[in-house]
A and B are shown apart, each in its own frame.
Chain A
Amino acid sequence: LFSSPLPLTMSDKPPPTRMNQQVFKGKKKAAVGGFKLLKKKADALKAKFRDYAKAIAATKGTMADDTATAFFSLTQAEYAAGDFKKAVLEGNMVAKVRVTSAVDNVAGVKLPVFNMQDTGAVNENQSLGLVGGGKKIAASRTKFETVLKNLIKLASLQTSFVTLDEAMKVTNRRVNALENVTIPRIEGILDYISRELDELEREDFTRLKKVQASKEERLKEEQRLKEEETREAMEKGIKPKVMSVNEDIMSKFESLDGDEVLF
């Protein structure tokens, strides 16, 4: 098994086996698949981000005008009703307006959303200006209610914008990591394994060739020795027999002289 005394580093290469080749082919497939999916997500997020940016730009523009109008109406009310600010600021109050925060899922990212909520509470300041200027105060109130509604919408857009921004950064980082680090590394390993397997095959082939060659050599040598024995036997006037080098030559001749030989 592949083991090292030191912790594995990026430069440690896996053993170049056919099994590992399959393993890493699988890893590459997974990485490329994941990369494609993340890229799609990044593109979707970017499109949404663009929408939010546009919406914010538009809303902030109108908000500036609406607020200016609201402040102007407040001043008008002061002219008409005198200093009612004090009365508004003091006295008990229960919020008539609240915001509920919900979570919206956009392109796989959870975005915060604010919704305006009417609690139904009634405040003292709502019965102001009974003596003159009441209409102007009511008009001012209406203007501020509109501004408030738009501000709550803007708050939603803004938080979504910021959250999307963060999500985009994270996704892009992962996409880049896959593209520039993970996949090239896996491809590098696959190349290495492929090269090593080729090399092993070549070595095997070479070894095979060498074994074959030495076998041939041996056969040739055997043949040569056989021919020499045959020649020697003929020179000595003894009928040559086909024999192998391993046989005992003398034992053959002994049996020829013995009584057991049958003709």
Chain B
Amino acid sequence: MSDGKLVAIIGDSDTVTGFLLAGCGHRTAENTNFLVVEPDTPATKVEECFTSLTSRTDIGIILINQHVANTIRHVLSRYNEVVPTVLEIPSKDHPYDPEKDYIMQRVNMYLGGGQD
């Protein structure tokens, strides 16, 4: 029995399929560690899933498409736990936008601004 934590995915069907192929998926009678977000999925459902994932102790990383993250930005900006870590990733239709990534903002400000 492994003691590692799971990698969860919240994203569109392509994203979730891809990472399930890579072996992330975990489904038991109690819960699943992924959510497929369709264009008509309400933001509340996404928020609910995010909240439940972050309260689980067996999840280490949460991968979330950037465009989906934007719909629950208010929840994400308040979240600052170390574990589970939240990583925003691009999707097929929405390529990576560093402007919207909070971490990249910090990184660029630090490197570009030449802080002391």
Using a CB–CB cutoff of 8 Å, the interface residues on chain A facing chain B are 49-50, 53-54, 56-57, 60, 63-64, 67-68, 70-72, 74-75, 85, 88-89, 92-101, 112, 114, 117, 119, 121, 123, 125, 137, 140-141, 143-145, 147-148, 151-152, 154-155, 158-159, 161-163, 165
Contact = CB atoms under 8 A, between A and B. Distances in A.
Contacts of A165: 106
- Chain B: interface residue count, which band? 35 or more
B74 interface: no
Nearest to A157: B103
A53 B96 contact: no
A112 B85 CA distance: 10
Nearest to B101: A60
Given A71-B18, A89-B20, A117-B2, A60 B61 contact: no
A162 B63 CA distance: 17
B60 A101 contact: yes
Given A93-B20, A95-B33, A151 B87 contact: yes
A101 B5 contact: yes
B60 A95 contact: no
A141 B5 contact: no
Given A89-B20, A151-B87, 11 more contacts: A53-B111, A67-B90, A88-B20, A95-B7, A101-B5, A125-B20, A144-B21, A151-B63, A154-B87, A161-B103, A162-B103
Nearest to B33: A95
Interface string B87-104: 101111001101001011
Contact of A67 (B4, B27, B96, B111): B96
A95 B2 CA distance: 10
B82 A163 contact: yes
23 contacts: A49-B110, A53-B111, A56-B104, A56-B107, A57-B107, A63-B89, A64-B95, A71-B15, A75-B92, A85-B14, A88-B20, A88-B21, A89-B36, A95-B7, A98-B60, A99-B4, A99-B6, A100-B4, A101-B83, A140-B18, A152-B61, A159-B83, A161-B107
B90 A60 contact: no
Nearest to B60: A99
